[in-house]
Structure 1
Amino acid sequence: MSNKIYVCDGAIVECDQGFNPAELKVTENTKIKVQGKLKATDMDRQVPKTFGKCKLKPTSGDYLPCVPALQKWTKTSEKTTLGGSKKFLFQDSECMCSTGGKITITDPLQVDSAGSVAEEFTELARMLPGAMLGADQAPKVVESYWMDEEGKERIKGSKYKENLKLYVLTSNVDPGTSVKLKVADDKQWDIEKGQKELIYKGTVMENGVAEMEMVTLKKEWKDTEEK
C-alpha cells in the first residue's frame, strides 16, 4: 500500500513566481474523501485567492496582480482514479501556470497516518465485489487509521500490543458487512516468532466505519485463515 500523502480541499499551494501562498479549491470531486476532506484531482485547478502579484509581470514600480492559470498536474496517482479518468494529487504533485510559474503543494491537509505498520487491503478487496476498481459506486476502502483507547484522538502509528484502536472507513458498503484486514510490519519483521501478520476483523456501521478487533490467539489465527 502506498504511503503517499493525498491532497485535500483547501490545501496550501505556492507559486515560485508569486508572493503569497494560496488555497487549492476542489471542484472536480464531490464524493471521495480522506480524513473527512474531499481529495483533489488533476482536474482541480482553481486558486480563488491567487498568489498575490506575479513576478513575471513587472511594471515601472511594482508587479501586476496574479491571474492563476494552472495547467496539467504531474506526479499524480497512476492506478487509483476517480471515474476512470481523473487522477488524485499527492503531496509532491506539481504543475505549471501558463504565465510561467511553477506551483507546488506545501500543506496537503491530509495528516500522515503512516506508522510502524503497513495495512494491506487485499483480503478486504476480495470480500467486496467490485472493490478497488475505481468506479464511484463500487464498494471500497477509503482509509484506515489508529485512535487512542477512548476513540477520541487519531494516532500516527502503532506498535504491537499498544493499547490503540484500529478503524477502517469504507464507501458504498452496506452496514452489517463483515470486513477483515491484515496488518504487517513495514519492514516485514516477525511480529511474533514465525508470524509476520496480524488479522483484524470488524463490522461496518451505519456511518461506513468499522471498528476492528485483532485476532490474537494462534488457534483463532489458524481458524480465521482457514475460513
Structure 2
Amino acid sequence: MALKEKVVQGALCICKYGATPDKLKVLTQQKYYLNDYKGNSKLAATNKDIGTTFEKNTFGLCKMQPTPGGYKPCQTTVTEWSGYYEKEKYDPPGGYILLEDSKATCPIGGKDCISIIKSGQIGEPTKKNLQNTDSELQAHINPIVDMKNYDFVEGNKSIF
C-alpha cells in the first residue's frame, strides 16, 4: 500500500454531480491536530464527520436534481464515509481517520459521490527540516542557497 495523506479540516472536496468544490469542516472533535506546527487549525477528520460538515454545504448546482430551467442547488449532507483507515481511531468521537482517497455518500448523489481533491495538509518547514535536508537535492531545487554552508545558529531569526 502506498502512503496516503490523512485528511484534515480545510480539505477540498467535490461531488461528481456538482461543479464547485467545498472545504471540509471537522465538527466532531477539538482535540486531535495533524500537520499543524502550532496545533490550532488542522483538526483530524474522521468517518464520524457526517451531516452538514462543509463550509458552504453546497457543491453548486446538482446534476441529480434537474428542473425545467436547469438544476436545483446542491445541499450537501454526508451520510457516511468509505475508505477510511481502520487502524487509527480517535476518541472522542470514536471515528477512524479519513485518507485522501476516502469518499462520502450523499442521499441524493448516492454512494461515494463525494471525493477529496486535496487533503488539507500543507507543508510547514521547520528548522529541524532544514537541518535534515539533503544538501545536494536542495542545490538543484534552490541553487541560490548553499545548504552545506548554511548557518543553523539557534538565535538565527532569518530561519523562523
Q: TM-score, normalising length from structure 2?
A: 0.68
Shift of 1:92: 0.5
Task: Give 1:72's aligned residue.
Answer: 80
Task: Give 1:14's aligned residue.
Answer: 14
Task: Give 1:38's aligned residue.
Answer: 43
Shift of 1:159: 4.7
Task: Give 1:185's aligned residue.
Answer: none
Q: 1:1-227 alignment to 2 at 5 Å?
A: 3-36=3-36, 37-45=42-50, 46-49=53-56, 50-83=58-91, 85-101=94-110, 102-111=113-122, 147-149=129-131, 158-159=133-134
The answer to whether the Cα contact below 8 Å between 1:5 and 1:91 also exists between their aligned partners in 2 is yes
**1:147 partner SS:** helix
The answer to whether the Cα contact below 8 Å between 2:35 and 2:123 also exists between their aligned partners in 1 is no
The answer to whether the Cα contact below 8 Å between 1:29 and 1:41 also exists between their aligned partners in 2 is no
Shift of 1:47: 1.7
* Cα distance in 1 for residues equivalent to 2:89 and 2:63: 35
> CA offsets, 1:103-156, max 9 Å, x none?
00001111479xxxxxxxxxxxxxxxxxxxxxxxxxxxxxxx95113xxxxxxx
* Cα distance in 2 for residues equivalent to 1:60 and 1:162: 58
Which structure has the highest strand share of the two?
A: 1
Shift of 1:88: 0.7
* Cα distance in 2 for residues equivalent to 1:109 and 1:34: 10
The one-letter amino acid of 1:91's match is E
Q: Which structure is higher in RCO with an 8 Å CA cutoff and minimum separation 6?
A: 2
* Cα distance in 2 for residues equivalent to 1:161 and 1:63: 54
**1:57 partner SS:** strand
Structure 1: runs of 5+ lacking an equivalent: 114-144, 150-156, 164-227
Closer, same or farther: CA 158–78 of 1 in aligned 2, 3 Å: farther
> CA offsets, 1:73-112, max 9 Å, x none?
1111111101173111000000211102500000111147
CA RMSD of aligned residues (A): 2.9
Q: TM-score, normalising length from structure 1?
A: 0.49
**1:56 partner SS:** strand
The one-letter amino acid of 1:59's match is T
Shift of 1:57: 0.7
The one-letter amino acid of 1:4's match is K
> CA offsets, 1:42-75, max 9 Å, x none?
1113123110111111111111111112121111
For these two proteins, the number of residue pairs brought into alignment is 125
Between the aligned residues of both structures, percent identity stands at: 32
* Cα distance in 1 for residues equivalent to 2:60 and 2:137: 47
Structure 2: runs of 5+ lacking an equivalent: 37-41, 139-160
* Cα distance in 1 for residues equivalent to 2:29 and 2:4: 19
